[in-house]
């Protein structure tokens, strides 16, 4: 009997288009390998569709707010059908950049220093805090967005101007800027899939560099690291995956500077598009796209 998979994609976040691409890629691959597939949006029909279609597993292809922050996971828990990727608490902790960074620090995982800033706070106080804590340049970002949405590198002169672009957010994170190499590592359950280095042509690996093929970001695999340093990278990635209680596949983003790994964040819903990194890392490891998806589905069934 063919397995039925219900794929949830689209959603309401700023990463909607990427989610639709992920859903489409996953559906195409599973369908061509004998699975029965239905794709739906995370709307009021989800519950009824799940009950009528009766899938073996729900594949969560959502990204960003409401898709990887514990919100949809809470709904899926009530539907009581196994679903892919991390559960409610792990998703919520990973998505909140302040909470996740506090967990990193508590567990001796190196991460850039940061300040949480409320948009109602006086700018002069912020400037003083930055100069006292780590200095310029800085990275500003929302507390709970993914895919480098609304992330900017700022100097003292343009910080105020860039902050205006984030005025729709009540609170943001301001981080010390760590130069160095962009390296990302993937974990699937207890399996260390591997890592990839990115050399963007742009200022950094932002939304455009991630999802626009014209941005021509260079992907380097294998990563040029000594074996000891590579093992250290994968050990940290597995450690943070386990610390947050993640399931399925995660991708941890690092800066490698002065022989040290700085963990920027962990992603519990990595993309599965043509330009996505986890499928590329897996392929280098000898795990093609369909087998990667099968491993993710198996993990969902095992951890139901």
Residue 216 within any structural domain of the chain: yes
Residue 133 within any structural domain of the chain: yes
Does residue 70 come out as left (phi exceeding 0), alpha (psi in the -120 to 50 range) or beta? left
| From 48-57, 86-95, 203-212, the region with the lowest mean pLDDT | 203-212
**What is the mean predicted confidence (pLDDT) over 33-52?**
92
Phi first, then psi: give them for residue 140, nearest 5 degrees: -115, 140
What are the beta bridge partners of residue 205?
Answer: none
In this structure, are 187 and 256 located in the same domain? yes
Residue 104 within any structural domain of the chain: no
**What is the mean predicted confidence (pLDDT) over 20-46?**
94
Among residues 170, 164, 110, 112, the alpha carbon closest in space to that of 137 is found at: 112
Name the one residue in this structure whose structure tokens are 């993937």.
186
Phi first, then psi: give them for residue 138, nearest 5 degrees: -130, 165
Domain final residue, candidates 133, 148, 176: 176
Residue 157 within any structural domain of the chain: yes
Percent of the chain at pLDDT > 70 equals: 93
The answer to whether the beta carbons of residues 153 and 203 sit under 8 Å apart is yes
Give the domain CATH number at 123: 3.30.1490.20
Kindly write down the DSSP assignment for every residue of the chain, as one continuous string.
Answer: -PPEEEEE---SSTTHHHHHHHHHHHHHHHHTTT-EEEEE-SSTTHHHHHHHH--SEEEE---STTTSSSHHHHHHHHHTS-BSS--HHHHHHHH-HHHHHHHHHHTT-----EEEEETTS-HHHHHHHHHHHT-SSEEEEESS--TTTT-EEE-TTTHHHHHHTTTTSSEEEEEE---SEEEEEEEETTEEEEEEEEE-SSSSS-HHHHH-GGG-PEEESS----HHHHHHHHHHHHHHHHHTT--SEEEEEEEEETTEEEEEEEESS---STT-HHHHHHHHTT--HHHHHHHHHHHHHHT-
Percent of the chain at pLDDT > 90 equals: 70
pLDDT at residue 200 above 70? yes
In this structure, are 135 and 215 located in the same domain? no
In this structure, are 144 and 186 located in the same domain? no
Give the chain's domain count: 3
pLDDT at residue 253 above 70? yes
pTM: 0.90
Among residues 14, 8, 20, 4, the alpha carbon closest in space to that of 272 is found at: 20
Residue 225 within any structural domain of the chain: yes
In this structure, are 260 and 204 located in the same domain? yes
Taking all residues of the chain, what is their mean pLDDT, rounded to a whole number? 90
In this structure, are 222 and 169 located in the same domain? no
In this structure, are 186 and 295 located in the same domain? yes
CA torsion sign for 67, 68, 69, 74 is positive
In this structure, are 191 and 290 located in the same domain? yes
Residue 163 within any structural domain of the chain: yes
* Other beta carbons less than 10 A from residue 294's beta carbon: 16
Among residues 50, 57, 87, 65, the alpha carbon closest in space to that of 18 is found at: 65
In this structure, are 204 and 122 located in the same domain? no
Domain final residue, candidates 157, 176, 195: 176
In this structure, are 209 and 258 located in the same domain? yes
Note the pLDDT tens digit of each residue in 235-251: 999 999 999 999 999 99
Domain residues for the domain of 276 are: 180-302
In this structure, are 147 and 192 located in the same domain? no
Give the domain CATH number at 43: 3.40.50.20
Domain final residue, candidates 176, 197, 216: 176
List active site positions: 15, 147, 211, 251, 253, 265, 267, 271
In this structure, are 203 and 295 located in the same domain? yes
Residue 253 within any structural domain of the chain: yes
In this structure, are 189 and 156 located in the same domain? no
| Cis amide prior to 137 (ω within 30 degrees) | yes
Residue 158 within any structural domain of the chain: yes
pLDDT interval class at 169 (50, 70, 90): confident
pLDDT interval class at 267 (50, 70, 90): very high
At residue 214, the pLDDT reads 55
At residue 215, the pLDDT reads 57
Q: Which residues of 28-37 are buried (b: 16+ CB within 10 A; e: fewer)?
A: ebbeeeebeb
């Amino acid at each position: 009997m063919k397995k039925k998979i219900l794929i949830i994609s689209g959603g309401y976040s700023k990463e909607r288009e990427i989610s639709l691409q992920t859903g489409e890629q996953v559906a195409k691959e599973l369908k061509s390998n004998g699975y029965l597939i239905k794709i739906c949006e995370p709307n009021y029909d989800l519950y009824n569709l799940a009950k009528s279609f009766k899938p073996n597993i729900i594949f969560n292809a959502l990204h960003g707010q409401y898709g990887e922050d514990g919100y949809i996971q809470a709904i899926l828990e009530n539907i009581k059908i196994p679903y892919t990727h991390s559960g409610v608490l792990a998703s919520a902790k990973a998505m909140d950049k302040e909470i996740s960074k506090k967990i990193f620090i508590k567990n001796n995982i190196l991460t850039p220093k940061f300040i949480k800033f409320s948009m109602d706070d006086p700018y002069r106080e912020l400037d003083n805090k930055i100069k006292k804590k780590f200095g310029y340049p800085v990275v500003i970002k929302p507390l709970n967005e993914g895919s480098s949405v609304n992330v900017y590198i700022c100097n003292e002169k343009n910080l105020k101007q860039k902050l205006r672009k984030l005025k729709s957010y009540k609170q943001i994170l301001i981080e010390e800027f760590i130069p160095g190499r962009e390296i990302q590592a993937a974990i699937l359950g207890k399996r260390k899939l591997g890592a990839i280095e990115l050399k963007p042509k742009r200022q950094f690996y932002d939304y455009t560099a991630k999802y626009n093929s014209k941005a021509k970001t260079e992907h380097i695999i294998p990563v040029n690291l000594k074996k000891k340093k590579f093992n250290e990278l994968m050990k940290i990635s597995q450690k943070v995956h386990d610390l947050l209680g993640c399931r399925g596949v995660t991708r941890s983003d690092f800066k490698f500077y002065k022989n040290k790994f700085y963990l920027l964040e962990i992603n519990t819903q990595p993309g599965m598009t043509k330009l996505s990194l986890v499928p590329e890392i897996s392929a280098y490891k000898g795990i093609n796209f369909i087998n990667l998806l099968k491993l993710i589905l198996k993990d969902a069934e095992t951890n139901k």
